[in-house]
Amino acid sequence: MLKPYLVGFVLTSAFGFISCSPINQDIATHDLLEVSSTITSTISISSPSPDQLNQFTPTQTIRPSSTPFYLPSIPTPTPRGFPSNLRTIEDIERYAADREFDTVVIHKDINGDSHDDVIVFNRLQIVVFLGSERESGLYNPTLFLEEDRYRGIAGSRIQFTDWTFDRSPEIELDQLIVYASGSSESYTWFKTIYQCKYEECHRIWQGWVGSFFHDGNFGGVCIEREFPRPLIASNDHYLIRSYQEGFDIYGCGEMSEAIYEVKDHHRIQQGMVAWYEWNGYEYIFSHEEVASLAQDIPSNSLTYSIGPAGQIAEISILRDLYMVPHTDSCQIKLNGEILGPSFPCKHNFSRISWEDISGDLRKDLVVTVFSGPNYGSTDDPYVPCSHQHLIAYEIHGNGARKIADVSGCSIDEDLFGVRLEDIDQDGKVEILAAGFPVDENPHDCSYFEDDRVYEISPDKYETCMYSDFTRSITVYRWNGSVFSP
């Protein structure tokens, strides 16, 4: 298992996937951190509430009942030697220029003395210089983080956000760890927060804030996310409220006597709220509360439907006959006749229905299935994630014409990967498709040749291999003939 390490006087944690915006002091305690969405067209995406799934009986298991086997543990600080000869700004900038990876030098007051301090940042290193002797042009090296190389850290980001409501920003370090084994990949985000006061910097909070695992061997996906946010409970009483949620389907099984047991159902994990109290030096875990109960959904299938003219539409499923284990082969049939080629699916999460999606007041045949990744074959397009696949046919008499064939990565607890929705309220249905939830090459840089640091805003810097958990949505609209992006 890969883990990152803290160093020196030190800073280290594995990358975090949640981005916190600057905090207003009048934040209500019930507010949650909203995760920004990157969407091809500006739209609002919402998952169904637990009430909308109340036909399923919730379980009482406290989340998390078990830790996914692929989730790295939070890193442990490891002391390092410090470049103590760096005292002037010229020395610091020369040191940054000599780094193996592209490095940024940031001038910002982070200890509240109204004078700029100096932060040196790249993917594997943060060095903080506090300037107690500014009148003489000298700086004191105060905090030194240097990651062990090739430990799975793909990228890093630092932000400067006030987590303690003292009008001085803390250093918020996010790190992304990537681990791949065969056709399966896991992405884990860690967040570490450091406070600098006077001549000292120390860690005040650390935790994993997200994980995404997709299993190319068994066609499953597991996503867990945590949303920490600082709040004011009362005068001089500050909290971090961290909301946790997640789901898994055909994945996140447990290792039992060296045998990987695949869960063949859909599980919405129990939602939890964890509270951390500020004691003047750091945030200490206080307690946690159940926000929503876990739900096990063994099946959500409808494989037979009668059309408006009495047509019989069905999904014919051949179990475990696809290339990927635990993946079935689906075939659409209309009145017993085959429509199009077969495609991978999961037998217990495949649905067929009749609905007007083209706006011509005639019912179209719509099929939506869940499937694991498709890595490309003669008939199946490349889809690098566990996903939903929507296929639609326009029916005229005994004839059928395909009008939609769209896949999208499952990123929400309702398995949303593709969805029919009138997003602009114009009476016409659109198809929404979710992209891969991690931008694996966000700034088009080479992992082995370049590690540029990008400034996103005056208070946010990230290395080119860093990516948040993203919600990139492509909108397909009816063009009079087919649905196209």
Buried b (16+ CB within 10 A) or exposed e, 32-67: ebebeeebeeeeebebeebeebeeeeeeeeebeeee
What residues contact 256, with CB distance under 8 A and at least 6 apart?
none
In the three-class reduction of DSSP (H, G, I as helix; E, B as strand; rest coil), residue 449 is classed as coil
Q: Write down the pLDDT at residue 441.
A: 63
Q: Write down the pLDDT at residue 143.
A: 74
- The predicted-structure confidence for 406-426, as pLDDT tens digits, reads as follows 999 999 999 999 999 999 988
CB 174 within 8 A of CB 17: yes
Lowest mean pLDDT among 85-89, 264-268, 301-305, 381-385: 85-89
Closest CA to 153 of 125, 115, 113, 184: 125
**What does the alpha-carbon distance between residue 414 and residue 418 come to, in Å, rounded to a whole number?**
11
Lowest mean pLDDT among 116-120, 141-145, 353-357: 141-145
What rounded mean pLDDT belongs to the chain?
Answer: 76
DSSP letter assigned to residue 434: E
**pLDDT above 50 (res 302):** yes
**pLDDT above 80 (res 73):** no
Q: 257: phi > 0 → left, psi -120 to 50 → alpha, else beta; which? A: left
Q: Write down the pLDDT at residue 1.
A: 27
> What does 128-176 look like in DSSP terms, one character per residue?
EEEEEEGGGTEEEEEEEEEPPTTSSEEEEEEEEE-SSSSSSPEEEEEEE
Cα R_g (the chain), whole angstroms: 25
What residues contact 42, with CB distance under 8 A and at least 6 apart?
none
In the three-class reduction of DSSP (H, G, I as helix; E, B as strand; rest coil), residue 95 is classed as helix
Q: Write down the pLDDT at residue 151.
A: 60
Lowest mean pLDDT among 18-32, 160-174, 298-312, 403-417: 18-32
pTM surpassing 0.85? no
In the three-class reduction of DSSP (H, G, I as helix; E, B as strand; rest coil), residue 465 is classed as coil
- The predicted-structure confidence for 235-262, as pLDDT tens digits, reads as follows 778 999 999 999 988 866 543 444 445 5
CB 403 within 8 A of CB 481: yes
Average pLDDT in the 21-46 region?
A: 28
**What does the alpha-carbon distance between residue 116 and residue 113 come to, in Å, rounded to a whole number?**
8
CB 177 within 8 A of CB 75: no
- Categorize the per-residue pLDDT at 474 as very low, low, confident or very high, splitting at 50, 70 and 90: very high
**pLDDT above 50 (res 178):** yes
**pLDDT above 90 (res 286):** yes
Six token digits for residue 430: 């659109």
**What does the alpha-carbon distance between residue 245 and residue 393 come to, in Å, rounded to a whole number?**
36
- Categorize the per-residue pLDDT at 458 as very low, low, confident or very high, splitting at 50, 70 and 90: confident
